[in-house]
Amino acid sequence: MIPLHTERLQLRLPTANDIDAIYTLLSDPSIAANMLDLPHPYQRSNAQAFVRYAQQATRAQTENIYVIETRATATVIGSISLDKRSFNIAEIGYWMGKPYRSQGYTTEAVRRIIRFGFAELGLNRIQAYFFAHNTASRRVLEKAGMQYEGVLREHFRKGDDYMSVGICAVLCGPPPVNDYAP
Amino acid sequence: MTMHLSTKRLCLRPLQPHDAPQVQRILGQSAVVTQMIGYPHPPPADEGNRWVTQHLALMQQDARQTWAVTRCGTDTLRGTLTLRYEWRTSLAELSYWLDAALWGQGWMSEAAGAVLGYAFRGGRVHRVYARSFAENTASRRVLDRIGMMHEATMRQSVRADGRYRDIAWYGALKSEYLAE
């Protein structure tokens, strides 16, 4: 997998060297609260399994899974994935470590993944689900050029709770503006 | 066990093996099949049998319930309604089709209303959802009439007949339905 670059970030395949960083970031309960199926409490073995899965899925080309790291310090700050579905649709998933939020990093990574999906994978539609209560995530997706399409009420189950999920999507078209091209 | 349901004009009974010829006939109507999401058309020659056999097997497995729509006092299948269950999330997807000769008379609104009521009063799901091609105004009117809410339109989210198509999603919640 070819790493993707933005002005401040590199998106690349996770390796065993990232396990400690991923474990530390995902141990924060604020991430599990906004994800459907993240193990909680998060164990180091979960981070190992994540890296293994990311490598296998990416090799099998069923899914592209990246860690997001800063170019300045090569610090792993989050992860983003693009999961291909039928009809040239792919779904974006991501998480960002707590210390690195509100700095535009996620938007930057999402924009880059969208450009990659349309230009390199020939996708027609890229979509992302988010818990409806997670307005920050919706803002990120809209800033990255996606359009809000609605909310499926109580459509998913997390533990004993039914979760409403919002959906945003972008269709293949002119590339997003203000993007950094290396 | 799929229950018999009735409305003012219609009787809904469980799908039966002898419905295959009627299913075959109606799925031969292009007005019907071109509005079915993810359904290949035109259907093959033995589609009636395949469709009925598959749906009966899924009913046996408690994965779906399918009703035949009939005019009360007759046995002839004129349409079907299906609840496809997703037990892990305790929800069901409602889908239906009706002989095109009977469109525009409110049959499906009656029948779908009865099935939605059954889904919630039967107590096994907390949510029912349905999907329609966004341009299928007749089907969307049915979903509006029975009190389902238009929740989202996913643009170009399936491909059918050589083009990407928008899908309208509708949902109803048991908590709201029973409160009304």
A180: pLDDT strictly greater than 90? no
pLDDT value for B43? 85
pLDDT value for A182? 42
Q: Helix B137-145 and helix B107-121: axis angle, to 10°?
A: 50
Tokens of B145: 């009439």
Q: pLDDT band for position A174 (50/70/90)? A: low
Task: Tell me B8's DSSP state.
Answer: S
Tokens of B5: 């349901």
Q: What is the DSSP string of B117-149?
A: HHHHHTTS-SEEEEEEETT-HHHHHHHHHTT-E
Is B89's CB within 8 Å of A162's CB?
yes
Q: What percent of chain A has pLDDT over 90?
A: 83
Task: Tell me B44's DSSP state.
Answer: P
Higher pLDDT among residues A44 and B122, named by residue: A44
End-to-end CA distance of chain A: give it in Å, rounded.
Answer: 17
Question: Mean pLDDT over all residues of chain A?
Answer: 93
Beta bridge partners, A83, equal: A63, A91
Phi-psi region of B46 (alpha: psi -120 to 50; beta: other; left: phi over 0): alpha
Task: Tell me B15's DSSP state.
Answer: -
Tokens of B109: 């609104």
Q: How many CB atoms lie within 10 A of CB A30?
A: 10
Is A149's CB within 8 Å of B156's CB?
no
Nearest to A81 by CA among A46, A40, A51, A101: A51
What is the ipTM for the molecules in this complex?
A: 0.92
Residue B164 parent element (H or E): strand B163-173
Is B149's CB within 8 Å of A153's CB?
yes
pLDDT value for A177? 52
What are phi and psi for residue A173, nearest 5 degrees?
-175, -155
Residues 13-52 of B with CB under 8 A from A: none
Give the Cα separation of A50 and A79 in Å (integer).
11
**Positions in chain B short of pLDDT 50:** none
Cα nearest neighbour of A153 on chain B? B171
CB contacts < 8 Å between A and B, how many?
Answer: 65
Give the Cα separation of B68 and B111 in Å (integer).
10
A171: pLDDT strictly greater than 60? yes
Q: B151 and chain A: CB distance < 8 Å anywhere? A: yes
Give the Cα separation of B61 and A27 in Å (integer).
40
pLDDT value for A61? 87
Q: What is the DSSP string of A69-114?
A: EETTT--EEEEEEEEE-STTEEEEEEEE-GGGTTSSHHHHHHHHHH
Cα nearest neighbour of A91 on chain B? B157
For the segment B122-150, what is each residue's pLDDT rounded down to a tens digit? 878 999 999 999 999 999 999 999 999 99
